[in-house]
């Protein structure tokens, strides 16, 4: 799992099946933002403030390490203000694990959740407005 651009692969009678890391990242990102209480994915911390990514960047805020049969995932999220972080993190871990395993057949060995910030209702409205204009 040390090759960052590795492809998950499987040999069949008819040939091979390869799943790119980017595909696993997108699956993980989509599964994460389905969780109530997650305001969005984080693109990192800029000037001490977590940068919230738009909902179109599903692979952003996700880091995956994919081997031939296993995957490890790191999620960088922003939670909604007032949400219970341990519950949200657990729900995200379970949803991401199930989605990846169901769609790819890979075994997810870990899903690490990194809470990068808190989204306030005003922040989310501004984010929506900036994408519309």
CATH assignment of the domain containing 27: 3.30.70.1350
Residue among 72, 133, 75 at smallest CA distance from 108: 72
- pLDDT tens digits for 80-117? 999 999 999 999 999 999 999 999 999 999 999 999 99
Residue 77 included in any domain: yes
What CA–CA distances, in Å, run from 37 to 34, 87, 92, 119, 122?
A: 9, 9, 10, 10, 15
Residue 94 included in any domain: yes
Count of the separate structural domains present in the chain: 1
Residue 33 included in any domain: yes
How many CA atoms lie less than 13 Å away from 1 in the CB half-sphere?
15
Instruction: With a cut of 50, say whether residue 1 has pLDDT above it.
Output: no
Entry pTM = 0.77
Residue 72 included in any domain: yes
- pLDDT tens digits for 5-26? 445 666 778 888 888 999 999 9
If you average pLDDT over every residue of the chain, what do you get? 83
Residue 21 included in any domain: yes
Q: Can you tell me the mean pLDDT for 67-89?
A: 95
Residue 2 included in any domain: no
Q: Can you tell me the mean pLDDT for 63-90?
A: 95
Per-residue tokens: 109: 């060995």
For 101, the domain range is 7-132
The predicted pLDDT at position 79 comes to: 95
Residue 1 included in any domain: no
Residue 41 included in any domain: yes
């Amino acid at each position: 799992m040390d090759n960052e651009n590795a492809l998950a692969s499987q040999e069949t009678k008819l040939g091979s099946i390869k799943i790119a890391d980017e595909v696993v990242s997108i699956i993980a990102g989509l599964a994460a933002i389905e969780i109530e209480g997650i305001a969005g994915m984080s693109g990192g911390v800029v000037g001490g403030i977590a940068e919230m990514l738009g909902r179109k960047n599903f692979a952003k805020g996700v880091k995956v390490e994919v081997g031939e049969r296993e995957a490890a995932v790191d999620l960088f999220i922003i939670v909604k203000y007032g949400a219970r972080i341990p519950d949200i993190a657990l729900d995200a871990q379970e949803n991401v694990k199930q989605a990846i395993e169901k769609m790819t057949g890979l075994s997810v060995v870990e899903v690490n959740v990194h809470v990068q910030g808190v989204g306030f209702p005003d922040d989310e409205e501004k984010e929506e407005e900036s994408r519309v204009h």
